[in-house]
Chains A and B, each alone.
Chain A
Amino acid sequence: MSKALLYDATICIGCKQCEVACAQQNKLPYSDEIAAESVQSEHKYTVVLTKQEKFMRRLCMHCEHPACASVCPVGAFHKTAEGPVVYDVWKCIGCRYCMVACAFAQPKYEWQSLNPRVRKCIMCPDRVKAGQQTACAEICPTGATKFGERDELIKEAQSRIQQNPSNYVPHIYGLNEVGGTSVLLLSSVPFEAFGYPKSEKLGDTPMPEYTGRVMSKIPDFIPLWSLVLGGVYWITHRREDVAAAEAEERKLKHSKDGAR
């Protein structure tokens, strides 16, 4: 079964320990200045946002059907069986289609580098594979970020909303958005307030389906269209050959008539 993260903004105290742990795990720089940055970047995979005493984490959602993996021309992204969506830098050609395609605008780029990489939360794939939890979940002092089986986390999120309905927006963000994600969010304020796209706007359709509908027609289109084009060529040129042959015949007949 696939793993997931459940982030409950109502338990979060905004201590930013997850940011620190993430930086350590991914060997990224971390300082007071970076802690103060409220945007994700190539050196900050996750960020804890604050708005009127409310907190919200942002990180890669690890979609069940990731757009980044489907659009990458060289297949540099893939979703592992355990859940994380990971990046193989040695394949990447730097076209940045993943960045444009991601509905959550998660992939970031090393714009200053001469050999730039795409950077995003990769959900600690080595730890997850070894049966450990992600660095951010492990360090979280309040359990606001919880690691576990996706199915169980969904049940837990549902029961939290049920037991304390006044405390939550009655919605698990990531349950069905773009076909479901491996990061699930609970909050007391609307998710849009922190820059998450509106659920209605995202829809439940997995993103790869939008292009998949077109791409799936190509294997049929190629032989059919070639046949049509070849057929047109044959017909137009055959017509010309026939006309030429007929003219020849007429000329022959004419000269015969003339001889007689």
Chain B
Amino acid sequence: MKFRLTLWKLVFLVTICLGIYSAYVRYAHGLGAVSNMSDQFPWGIWIGFDVLCGVMLAAGGFIVTGAVHLLNIKWMHSVVRPTILTAFLGYCLVIVGLLFDLGRPWYIWHQLIYMNPHSVMFEVGFCVMFYTTVLFFEFLPNVLERFNLKQSLRWVKGIMAGLVVAGILLSTLHQSSLGALYLIMPGKLHPFWYTPALPFFFFGSAVAVGLAMTIFESSLSSRVFGRQLELPVLVQLGDVLLVALWINALLRFEDFFHRGQLRNIFKPSYEAYFLWLELTLAFVIPITLLSFKRIRRSPDGLYLASVACLLGFVTNRLNVSVTGFETWVGHHYVPKWTEFMITLAIVSSGFALFGLAVKYLPIFPEVQHSPAAQPLELIANNAVPVAVLVENAGD
């Protein structure tokens, strides 16, 4: 196919080029040169976004496989493959992000031999490592089907039940443990976000975001790849998401109430503004939208609710990892542009790899591709920025 340079392809290429330059600065001049991290702010957005949010956004994998294989919920079947793909890519990119963030990434394997069972970080690292392996095997059928390797396919499907159980177990552990990382900083983290319930909140938000991400990526890929939107499936996912959001919201309220923070959260302060932003995006907007039957059953309403929800919980994790420490430290942390570029490049390659996988693997097997017909319509429809990029990623 002829290569056509579209706006979003250009954005993608520029992002990747700047990302490569930033990667060069990282490995040629060190963390100090590439980032605004310091002794006061040892963890920046590479931990706050790439790791904390990356793992959260990839949570759909264990929720959807669990619902389909464990609870035997049949209607979710059509979203299993794209969700596993998202999760697998997500975890791989989290590991890529870690290779930038770790001061001595070439010793990352020390995790396997110098184990400290008291460390939450050790537990997270171990679970992420094993879960990525599990996701690899859950993803494998796509490749095996593509090349018609029936024997191996049977073998992988034979161990699928074990994989799913292991996947949920490992996910429960590390999704919650990401929150437990912050339990050791009671004096440093702002009381809006420091709570003994952090592990529960991190797990709860992962469940909500896993569902929201599944709606988001199904909506997006239906627009991009011109698939029939499985609206009934998304509507049902929206119902579950509404319940998950209510549970999350009520638990947050309970927590503020029991720790006597209810009075403080309404007083204007630097932290309060960020908390309001987080709560509005994560709870107020999506719960309101999903509460109306008409919005809940419309593709646009579901899309909007899921995007607000994703942004809200991303804000939550950035608040826990960055905003919540600024008062204790006494100054602000704003990432350097090279820090942003590495994160953006990682996110962009995630979208591109998703597009490639969909193009060459039976992720949406029921759909026949008609690549020639789609791009025209998509260029006209600028509402979906990554659309054209993803569609043409394989060119």
Contacts from A to B (Cβ < 8 Å): 40-42, 67, 70-76, 91-97, 99-101, 103, 105, 108-109, 111-116, 197, 201-203, 207-208, 210-215, 218, 221-222, 225-226, 229-230, 232-233, 236-237, 239-240
Contact = CB atoms under 8 A, between A and B. Distances in A.
A95 B31 contact: no
Given A94-B105, A208-B184, A211-B120, A100 B161 contact: no
Sorted nearest first, the 8 A-B pairs with minimum C-beta distance are A94-B103, A111-B32, A75-B116, A73-B122, A99-B42, A236-B72, A74-B114, A73-B121
B117 A108 contact: no
A113 B28 CA distance: 10
B30 interface: yes
Given A75-B116, A96-B42, A101-B184, A229 B168 contact: yes
Chain B: number of interface residues, binned into ranges: 35 or more
A229 B62 CA distance: 12
A215 B110 contact: no
Contact of A215 (B101, B123, B169): B123
A210 B184 contact: yes
Interface of B: 27-33, 37-40, 42-43, 66, 69-72, 101-105, 107-108, 110-111, 114-123, 125, 161, 164-165, 168-169, 172-173, 177, 180-181, 183-188, 199
B185 A101 contact: yes
A111 B116 contact: no
Contacts of A230: 165
A111 B184 contact: no
A92 B107 contact: yes
B110 A91 contact: yes
Nearest to A230: B165
Nearest to B118: A70
A75 to B, nearest CB: 4
A115 B28 CA distance: 11
B39 A210 contact: no
Contact of B180 (A41, A42, A100, A211): A211
Given A67-B184, A197-B187, A225-B172, A96 B119 contact: no
Given A67-B184, A100-B42, A202-B187, A111 B30 contact: yes
Nearest to A115: B104
26 contacts: A67-B184, A73-B119, A73-B125, A74-B114, A91-B110, A95-B101, A95-B102, A95-B121, A103-B185, A109-B31, A111-B30, A111-B32, A112-B30, A112-B33, A114-B29, A114-B30, A115-B103, A115-B104, A116-B30, A116-B31, A211-B180, A222-B169, A229-B66, A233-B69, A236-B70, A240-B72
B180 A214 contact: yes
Contact of B116 (A73, A116, A201): A73
B31 A111 contact: yes
Contacts of B71: 232, 236
Contacts of B173: 218, 221-222
Contacts of A70: 116, 118-119, 184
A232 B185 CA distance: 37
A94 B102 contact: yes
Contacts, number: 158
Given A74-B111, A94-B105, A201-B187, A229 B121 contact: no
A111 B180 contact: no
A226 B103 contact: no
A99 B39 contact: yes
B196 to A, nearest CB: 8
Among B37, B107, B164, residue most surrounded by chain A Cβ atoms (within 10 Å)? B107
A250 to B, nearest CB: 21
A211 B42 contact: no
A126 B256 CA distance: 49
A93 B107 contact: yes
A75 B114 contact: yes
Contacts of B69: 233
B169 A71 contact: no
Contacts of A208: 118, 184
B186 A210 contact: yes
Contact of B115 (A75, A100, A108, A115): A75
A100 B43 contact: yes
A109 B107 contact: no
A76 B27 CA distance: 23
A208 B119 CA distance: 9
A93 B199 contact: no
A40 B40 CA distance: 11
A237 B160 CA distance: 14
A232 B180 CA distance: 27
B322 to A, nearest CB: 12
A103 B120 contact: no
A202 B27 CA distance: 38
B83 to A, nearest CB: 18
A91 B117 contact: no
Nearest to A67: B184
A71 B31 contact: no
B120 A214 contact: yes
Nearest to B33: A112
B39 A108 contact: yes
Given A67-B184, A114-B30, A115-B104, A229 B169 contact: yes
Contacts of A97: 119, 121, 181
B70 A232 contact: yes
Contacts of A225: 169, 172
Given A116-B30, A218-B173, A229-B169, A71 B184 contact: yes
A67 B161 CA distance: 39
Contacts of B180: 211, 214-215
Contact of B183 (A72, A211, A218): A211
B184 A116 contact: no
Given A111-B30, A197-B187, A207-B184, A93 B116 contact: no
Nearest to A70: B118
Contacts of B122: 73-74
